[in-house]
Structure 1
């Protein structure tokens, strides 16, 4: 039995990055031997075991053969006869196909170290094109490692394009897609994840609503970058720069999809694009079974982001309606994330990345003012049920009117 450290742990150590988790491959052993040594089996598709003490994953060396469509369309074979080289060749990228023994010696049969130095994301073998999930994985790796100078090798991009054109992406489950998309959006360059998918044709298959934004013009007065797709990428870039959470990034990715439905005769104006976008966002959320909190924020942001941009002009009644739409008094975090998404939208514009966005502080202060309405004095007046609710709403509206008036009287 020989045990090797493999994959991301080796890759990131060679790049000088922190290693968060370690995967191991075991050569020359059977499942029975692993069990006899106290390893706990996990996974039904192929033999993976948890170390009895560290809990780290140890997988028996295996080969795989394409047997169907999609991510799960493979037959795996694990036995003591499978070599380390046979196990490594089934991996996606050369930089993920480097192994390290217990003496620190590297086993690198497919040029992973060379590609680390060249800063290239390159496939290990033509079998790359058998797994459609790898399209998303490579795009995600680009989003992670582009700040280090990495790019996708042209021949790998060609295989990604081949996969996108084959229709196999449709065989991926909603859960697998969302896992890759959500992880990629949290990388340092989520915009490059979307760009890479577009470059190989996968964005049209996975998120046609977003793909349709490229080439759609907007008024240069508000959007010096003009192209709606480019603006979406710029908003994502701002999300990463300002370290926004996943919900904000998902909302920014989808907030303008309604502009893809604007008739060309109306370009570069997009009247009512917010309402047109709601239907599309609902469809996308359902397609990938997006967790409810992210789905709701994306829907509300799509519908109401122009309200945020016009916050300083809104009447007190409209301000209160906006706060109520977000259930702000019970879920203040969701409203804060909405405001953050709108600020990223405003900053995701060419040359306007550092422009002040006073709407953010204004809306958060307005919400704080409305939240300060005390319920106890109203209860002491004997108010209950609908009467109590109406009284609370009146108090909140009065506070917002006073807040709005004070703000208007402040010098610029």
Structure 2
């Protein structure tokens, strides 16, 4: 059987995988070793040193490539380490066009690390392709997209951006963390690189930090593998095992995440004390039609703003929550609440945050897989207290 032809639910469990060759273990063993015996200098069984490659990490990387319909997967110590590897493809004077309402950690590494090495960044609202076109020039080497964006849940048309990137021979990368390959396949829509903070939905249990890249092109893969090995920001075998285990239930978790996300978003939209709700599943959401076209469902990430709210109102609501945990991160089986202005996006200057709509009163939810009635009851108590 050609496992490349499997449907997603089967790929999540079997894609790129085979029983272990040594003893037939169904799950890839955790090869907790730094080095490997050689019969003669250079004579080995495919592995020499675990920074360069480790069998457990290889199993994860093969799985990542499979579920993203890619050819080559790379696993890193964190999502930011994966972004860092992509940025190391840039040279001084190169220009990068990035989503304006971007994850704070991505903004930080772009502006605080790579800008001082001469890489130029432009942050634009990518819902309108004209905004991107206006920044393209002969120095543009990378377009970096989040969709849905963090935390505004804006939708970027991957196919149209891909067409623009290809026309100008620009590398095109998509952060697919919020959607996951269950909902969206950027490589199939024309992206060159897919990036994940696998800490989130791919791991799914809030027990591991890990990042990933997936590509189709061998030359690009070779460059990124070189950077992965030379820079050394790899993940360990235990972390690889945990994310591989998480991927095997991604499809069933995402189904419940989406069901609960829909219910919570509708509750918030109907509540008289809530002013704005950001979730791409609403028909009046900007680019909802694009979301319908490129996504299988609309996910479980939701942002909202209390009516007439300010910073203190948002803080009071998140502090009253009992079932939603006030914490950084997202994508675990448990529901989390965050305050972007003081947490995930605190590294972005207030003026820059508010330009893209990230106001001090905004609350971001990662809706888990608990019973939706319990989640709604928790929100109601916190909002109406």
Using structure 2 for the length normalisation, give the TM-score.
Answer: 0.26
Rg: which structure is higher? 1
Name the structure where strand makes up a greater proportion of residues.
2
Greater RCO (CA < 8 Å, at least 6 residues apart): 2
Higher helix share: 1
